A and B are shown apart, each in its own frame.
Chain A
Amino acid sequence: MFRHPVVIRVTHWVNALCLLVLLMSGLQIFNAHPALYWGKVSTFDTPLLAMSATEDEPPKGTTMVLGRTFDTTGYLGSSTGADGEPADRGFPAWATLPSDQDLTGGRSWHFFFAWAFVLNGALYLIYGLLSGQLRFRVVPQRDQIQRFGASIWEHLTLRFPQGDEAKRYNVIQKLTYAIVLFVLLPVQVLAGLAMSPAMDAAFPFLLTLFDGRQSARTVHFVVAALLVLFVVVHVALVLLSGFWNNMRGMLTGWFVIERKVEPAASIEGDPRS
């Protein structure tokens, strides 16, 4: 079946690139002050989260979350830089863009791709609304809501619908996409804007919405983490539910609906495949 029109396919991949760059350049910006707070200002003595390096030789990386400190040497607080030497930095070089400590570089990447993300997202939403694609993708049908429990079971056992039922997105899938599209991404954009002193002057409600600029920064970080979680699950399910078919679908638009009933779990090292 022809599943993904060209606008959906192009915006999907542009979006994927934007999210990746925004995440990595965002971590670069976070590294300039690797601590999070709640409220209007930074309460330097009582952060919600803080990454730092100890004075030891070699330094240990520590991460404090809600009062509990963890040793995160090598990953958070202290990690090996490009020169092979341990560096005091929140997230490691491989997770940030640019990889070196470079706040201004990170900001340039972040803002450029933020604009690309917003424009691309607007195109997706407008097209999705006009074409009916959005409705097809995110609004569960009545019978799907009734079979909500069954869908959870299908996910837990990794048995995905086949035949006609595979022509539409399942209910959990639709709800997840709806939450990402209409909750996480808009909140992420608003929280980002709430960190701008100029935007706060133009739209003071941004600060009310997030309970202050530092809270907005924390929300921006947490939502970024939730988006990473979404992408991890999304990619895992793409792999588990037929990687090549899914990829063909999102690259060419054509998606094969398999008629024969075969337990999807068989992909776990089934010699027949």
Chain B
Amino acid sequence: MKGSPNRRSLLLGASATAAAAMLVGCDRLGNAEWFRRTLKTGEDANMFVQRLLLGEVTLAPEYAEADISPWFKPNGTEDPPDKDYKALAKGKFAKYHLEVGGHVEEPFKLSLADLRKLPARTQITRHDCVEGWSAIGKWTGVPLAELLNRARLKPQARYVVFHCADTMDQGNPLEGGGDDEETDEVPAGNANPSMTKQSGGDENRKDYGGQQATVGTAVSGGTPVRFYESIDLVDAFHPQTILAYNMNGEALPVSNGAPLRLRVERSLGYKQAKYVMRIEVVESFAHIGEGKGGYWEDQGYAWYAGI
């Protein structure tokens, strides 16, 4: 009945081998498309259950002035490399216009000054990065519902897409290196340097590879990918969903998304699009980017980011 030392070392050796084999097996499984999709049902269940638990107007916790983080960690793009954006920033965004269009009755453009004249909401909320850290900031901005009501949605409207100014992949992957400072709205960098690379590669192969081979136009192997995000109408009309132009009582700094960033408070940081230039109301986001509903979603992150 009892294990002898030999038997025990055999057992230990066998378990170590089994463990190593299991690790390799798990990685291989994790790369198989069917298994990946199976695992994703866990995240689908998250959305299903959280949507059941949350009322349409259930508010995210709001905090006191004293809770505001002394430093609101900027993540992801901190200084968009794009020329057009740089020109806008140089002019203190005086020439900036937010475009609202897509499936709406009345598309319109608004300057930053005009946006500031609209009814505003101020909220002190917690920003939770998918990486794990949190910061509290005070945001002032226009409720998205205000803009959508003004534009009047057409019946087929289902999602609101935010097109941003910052280019994520200029044909070559972002350098992840050792710090997470250079990465996007949230993950990558330290979190996952290889993620960006893989995705860049995929994209080249899938969308632009053929073009390159036949036409030979692309120079560095990829069309620039701009940041974008999307939310559905439940979140779009949530009272705390605002397009913020102020942070902690002052004009939003470039590092935190000037001139306008989305706050969708019941979601993780990667949904909080910075540098919002254009709002497009759509029926489906399948035709945008790689079709998953956002820059990070295209890299594999869940579209629903409530957890």
Contacts and interface: CB of A to CB of B under 8 A. Distances in A.
Q: Do A and B bind each other?
A: yes
Interface of A: 29-33, 35, 37, 40-42, 44, 53, 88, 94, 97-105, 107-115, 193, 195-204, 207, 213-214, 217, 239, 242-245, 256, 258, 266-267, 269-270, 273
A33 B132 contact: yes
Contact of A103 (B8, B43, B195): B195
Contacts of B63: 40
Contacts of B5: 269
B300 interface: yes
Contacts of B2: 242-243, 266-267, 270, 273
A30 B3 CA distance: 37
B134 A41 contact: yes
Given A112-B38, A213-B134, A217-B132, A197 B265 contact: yes
B50 A196 contact: yes
Given A40-B126, A197-B266, A33 B307 contact: no
Interface in B265-293: 265-268
A40 B193 contact: no
Nearest to B265: A197
Given A202-B58, A266-B2, A33 B191 contact: yes
Contact of B136 (A41, A94, A258): A41
Contacts of B43: 107-108, 111-112
B18 interface: no
A244 B2 CA distance: 8
Contacts of A115: 42, 45
A99 to B, nearest CB: 6
Nearest to B188: A103
B50 A108 contact: no
Contacts of A42: 73, 133-135
A161 to B, nearest CB: 16
A89 to B, nearest CB: 9
Contacts of A35: 133
Question: Which 7 A/B pairs are nearest by Cβ-Cβ distance?
Answer: A198-B306, A112-B42, A196-B307, A111-B42, A32-B191, A42-B133, A33-B132
Given A101-B193, A243-B3, A273-B1, A201 B58 contact: yes
A121 B49 CA distance: 18
Interface string B35-59: 0101111110110001001100011
A257 to B, nearest CB: 12
B151 to A, nearest CB: 27
Nearest to B300: A104
Contacts of B41: 112
Nearest to A119: B45
B119 interface: no
A33 B133 contact: yes
Contact of A207 (B30, B38, B61, B136): B61
A267 B23 CA distance: 31
7 contacts: A33-B131, A41-B133, A103-B191, A196-B50, A196-B306, A213-B126, A273-B1
Contacts of B39: 108-109, 111-112
